[in-house]
Amino acid sequence: MRRLVRAVAEPQGYRVVEAENAETGLSKAVECKPDVIILEMALPNEGGARFLETLREWSRTPVLVLSERTDADAKVSALDAGASDYLTKP
């Protein structure tokens, strides 16, 4: 999914910074101060929910969740945790 986001975003002039887990993602969010974060909820280690919880302690950066889960509970949980929007992967 990261490769797809990069392939779509970079030709449009966006700079893409990737992280393979929550800890690295939080570090890069501090370092790079992104305009938006695209988050996969199924992250290794802590997972996307913990990432959102930690990020929201210090940042209001918009977070777009991309997930394969289509159930309403997953969407509500992500939005309650601080996601700005939720998109289901094709």
H or E stretch including 85? strand 85-88
What does the domain layout of the chain look like in residue ranges?
2-88
| pLDDT given for residue 9 in this prediction | 95
How many CA atoms lie within 13 Å of 55's alpha carbon, on the beta-carbon side? 32
Rg (C-alpha) for the chain, rounded Å, is: 12
User: Do residues 25 and 43 make contact, with C-beta atoms less than 8 angstroms apart?
Assistant: yes
pLDDT, tens only, 1-20: 889 899 999 999 999 999 98
H or E stretch including 39? strand 37-40
Band of pLDDT at residue 23, cut at 50, 70 and 90 = very high
pLDDT(46) > 80: no
Band of pLDDT at residue 45, cut at 50, 70 and 90 = confident
What's the rounded Cα separation, in Å, for the pair 34 and 22?
A: 15
CATH superfamily for domain 2-88: Response regulator (3.40.50.2300)
H or E stretch including 5? helix 2-9
pLDDT, tens only, 49-86: 889 999 999 999 999 999 888 889 989 999 999 999 99
pLDDT(89) > 90: no
